[in-house]
Amino acid sequence: MAAAALLSSCAAVSRPNNIEPIATGQGYQAQYRDVVTRQDQSYLTSARMNAETCLPYRGGNGGKGFAAQALLGERFSRNDLLDIRIAEDESLSGRYVVSRDGTLKLPFIKPIRTQGQSSSEVELSLVLALMKAGLYDEPPAVSVRAADFASVSVGVSGAVFEPHQIELGKVAGDAIDQNRAQALGASTEARNLSAALRAAGGIRPDADLSAVELHRKGRVYKLDLRGVFEGQNSVDVMLITGDTVVVPSRQCFQDDLMRPSPISPPGVTLFLSNLTQPATGNAPSAIGRDVREMPYGTRYLQAVVDANCVGGSRVTSAHRSALLMSRNPETKVSVVIERDIEDMLRRADRDDYDPFILPGDGIACYDSTVTNVAEAARVLGLITVGAALN
């Protein structure tokens, strides 16, 4: 009876159930759908199936519209360290920090609005303030340059993997690079829009990059970032504290966004559960205790190879299977997809059923039927020996 019970456990189990309409290709990826027989296969249709549900692009000016032009260039934010020079006036010249209220406060004149302003705009405001205060009869020569940029706090939401409030730049607003601060002028890429999107986990494959919204001081600027994948993007604008970035969704999976870019996830952190044969555990298989880092754009077959689920003796190791556990980032509904690894390796239309791995996904590998029978026999032998000893 014990032998029969153990051997029956080696039989195939039913395929995983999912709430999402996976079988018809209407899940987050069409590649999740059930594998059809080779006789019924229609080659390479997943990308088209994914695109059929796409909403139209909301933007489309190629990143060269008014919004992009209005935001280009350096913009000051609170806590920035500015070097101010006023010709022939050493008493007012010096280094000033932009106040928490976003203004620049020099002696004898009213505060100057600086938050979100460029150096030329602050220079003009400073000249007008000096004239209005009666300190000069003629407009003085004024220079305003950034000596050191502080961190900024911005919100990122929408079609990104980890929407949240983000601190960009330095660790704290009062942290100053003394070496760089000695030089006149400063520059940084750490406060750019692309840095904010990466810090929010990167854009999701359903993102509408034609109309990424930047909310600033009650205004909404729509930016077209599609050119970033071809190296043509020129709207990587500088952010200031209080900005909010919203990435709209096209409500479809876009295969062409599953590749590295300055606004994509830096990589995929994949959770693994390895098979017991021929590997005895994750450590001897060169797999980390919890997760494995993989390039963004990695697919299921690449992941199972990386997890040591493929190869070995053909007699004992063929026809393993693996489960892909993922979650729809739009609906937050989990999905579990099972594939016969050997079948996927041998079929010509594998790309149609080879899902992309998303951040936070998991892979669980199962041994072949032969290995399962051998393991059951081993366990049965241990049980028999134990019964005899008793």
Q: Which helix (H) or strand (E) holds 11?
A: none
Q: Which helix (H) or strand (E) holds 316?
A: helix 314-317
> How many other C-beta atoms lie within 10 A of the C-beta of residue 104?
24
Residue 80 amino acid letter: D
Which residues is 152 bridged to in the sheet? 168
Q: Which residues of 277-300 are buried (b: 16+ CB within 10 A; e: fewer)?
A: bebeebeeeebeeeebebebbbbb
Residue 22 structure tokens: 């996976």
pLDDT at 178: 60
Q: pTM to 2 decimals?
A: 0.81
184: closest CA among 90, 105, 129, 119? 119
pLDDT at 38: 62
pLDDT at 156: 96
Strand spans (E) along 87-209: 94-97, 103-104, 112-113, 142-148, 152-158, 164-168
CA triple 188-192-194, angle to 5 deg: 130
Per-10-residue mean pLDDT, the chain, length 390: 48 77 89 77 82 89 63 88 90 91 92 94 95 91 91 94 88 50 62 93 95 94 88 80 96 94 88 58 52 86 84 70 92 92 87 93 77 46 51
Residue 155 structure tokens: 């919100």
pLDDT at 316: 64
pLDDT at 326: 94
Structural domains in the chain, sorted by start: 2-6+14-54+264-375 (no CATH), 66-73+150-251 (3.10.560.10), 81-148 (3.30.1950.10)
pLDDT at 328: 94
pLDDT at 219: 93
Sign of CA dihedral 217, 221, 225, 231: negative
Residue 275 to residue 349: CA distance in whole angstroms: 26
- Confirm if 275 and 314 have CB atoms less than 8 A apart: no
Q: Which helix (H) or strand (E) holds 198?
A: helix 193-199
Residue 354 to residue 118: CA distance in whole angstroms: 49
Write the CA distances from 290 to 111, 273, 362, integer angstroms: 54, 9, 10
- In order, the DSSP letters of 39-106 are TT--SS-HHHHHHTTPPPPS--STT-SHHHHHH-S----TT-EEEEEETT-TTT-EEEEPPTTSEE--
> How many other C-beta atoms lie within 10 A of the C-beta of residue 29?
23
Question: What is the residue whose two structure tokens read 């059923």?
Answer: 353
pLDDT at 279: 52
Q: Which helix (H) or strand (E) holds 81?
A: strand 81-86
